[in-house]
Structure 1
Amino acid sequence: MPRSRFLTADADLVFDVLTDLGDLAWLPAGVEVDVPSPNLLRLWLRRGAHDDEVHRPIDIDWENLRITWGGETTPSWSGWVRVERLPTGGCLVSARVMGSEGRPAQQVTAWTDEALERLDTAVRREGTVLPGRMRRALTVPRCDE
């Protein structure tokens, strides 16, 4: 199930943070990423009773502010994240991550929520967010899609 979070920052800034492969501080603890070649992502997941290391194709759609990894041939540890511009300002970031057998769905959901929270923190460090009065008016709770 997709997870979503409202961010009080410009959608392009958020997408820049998401796609900066040199600084992935927004990833949850225990998840590491490397890009060994163009369009290929290597994930290390170091939590729980066993570690996973997987390679997945990655596609970054700059026009639609969407990143996808994995696919039909690699259904485990695949997913997408997208950033939606909101007409009132700010943006909505939604992510869906499919785990692997042996990983409880609750753990994958917790990782996704942690990543969205850390992304919010990283974006605030990186650049400008909406003014406080506007931010309070636009704040919505984290939601499921």
Structure 2
Amino acid sequence: MHIRQVLRRKGSEVATVAASADIRTALALLAEHGVGALVVSGDGRAVEGIVSERDVVRALHERGAALLTDPVSSVMTADVHTCVPDSGVEELARTMTDRRVRHVPVVDGGVLVGIVSIGDVVKFRLDQLEEERAQLVDYIQTP
């Protein structure tokens, strides 16, 4: 199974924020979209970084509330692990676990086409296992 199939089920909408936007704006976007991370992109196509709720919380602990007026670039992760639509779901799950990342932007030809969270990967895998179980039950019960 490929990430392309995960995106087909969940959709390809990606919440983005400009690197120059302040942290307060990023927090508003996180809440508005109900997501745990934003892809940092000036044009919605190129991945410049990623900023997560965890990044903001850690920076708030270190720098205090004055952080809210700082630019997103001051807390974002610039070295972003990405994947392509043809990446394997199991491979990406392993990578996410090993690298301790919860969100991975999906790029195709250098263009942002989606984002996958660890929750998306787990849900996809659980749905897949349920389908396999149902097929086995049908096979066993067929006379």
| TM-score tier (shorter) | 0.3 to 0.5
- TM-score (norm: length of structure 1): 0.35
Query: Higher strand proportion, which one?
Result: 1
Larger radius of gyration: 2
Q: Which has the higher contact order (CA 8 A, sep 6+)?
A: 1
- TM-score (norm: length of structure 2): 0.35
